[in-house]
Amino acid sequence: MQRLIMICAGLMLLLAGCKTTTSQPAPPIAPKPQVIKESPGTPKMRTTTASPAPAAAKSYAHYVNARYGFSVQYPRSFRAEPPPVNGDGQAFDDGQGFKMIASASNNIDDTNLAAAMQKQMEGFGEVTYKARGKNWFVLSGYNGSKILYEKTYIGKGSIHGLYLEYPATAKTKYDDIVTRIARSFKPGNVEEFH
């Protein structure tokens, strides 16, 4: 449990230095990608091009964490921040207030789903949506003027999470992006230590 608290505190410190905000309940589903091709020189990233049908279709890249095995898509226009030395995840931003962190940690304290969900709720001023399954939960809501979205998978070995934050005033702008990112997030093997 202390490890999870330390991770949450680290994420909050990382976010405190950035102008960011998170998302709200899951918006409608964005179109599925049709073409996937490897980007030269970056084996952990794949370029994904969305179906050209919608005028607002955007190009997405695919991040795969080499250590924990989780993966997520994100708009290619987002900037990747320098990765942590321990290889536990990656932060991205769009330079306009949207922040995304995909990360993981070993579950050294044998944290359970209910305890992790309760702890994550402390970072919200208001939770407007929550859902949970056998080994995952989703929280969405507000913290001040920011929309927050968290999706977490928990296993005996590790905890894998996605954190999104953005200005509430830009909700309409980011709804489709949040949906695409959230639905694309896939955990690695949470039953093993990494």
Which residue range forms the structural domain that includes residue 131?
A: 2-184
In a domain, residue 189? The reply is no
pLDDT given at position 45: 38
Q: Is 135 helix (H, G, I), strand (E, B) or coil?
A: coil
Q: Tell me, yes or no, whether 50 lies in a domain.
A: yes
Question: Looking only at Cα atoms, what is the longest distance across the chain?
Answer: 48
List per-residue pLDDT tens for the chain, 194 residues long: 344 344 444 443 333 333 333 333 443 333 333 333 333 333 333 333 333 334 344 699 999 999 999 999 999 999 999 999 999 999 999 999 999 999 999 999 999 999 999 999 999 999 999 999 999 999 999 999 999 999 999 999 999 999 999 999 999 999 999 999 999 999 999 999 99
Residue 191 lies in a domain: no
Kindly report the CATH number assigned to the domain that includes residue 131.
3.40.1000.10
DSSP 78: S
Which long-range contacts does 119-126 make (Cβ < 8 Å, 24+ apart)?
Answer: 119/1, 119/4, 119/5, 119/8, 120/8, 120/150, 120/152, 123/8, 123/12, 123/148, 123/150, 124/148
Number of domains forming the structure of the chain = 1
Residue 54 burial class via C-beta count within 10 angstroms: exposed 0-12, middle 13-18, buried 19 and up:
exposed
- Position 64 in a domain: yes
DSSP 8-state assignment for residue 109: T
The answer to whether residue 190 sits within a structural domain is no
Residue 192 is assigned to a structural domain of this protein: no
> Per the domain annotation, does 193 fall within a domain?
no
Q: What is the pLDDT of residue 64?
A: 97
Residue 108 domain-assigned?
A: yes
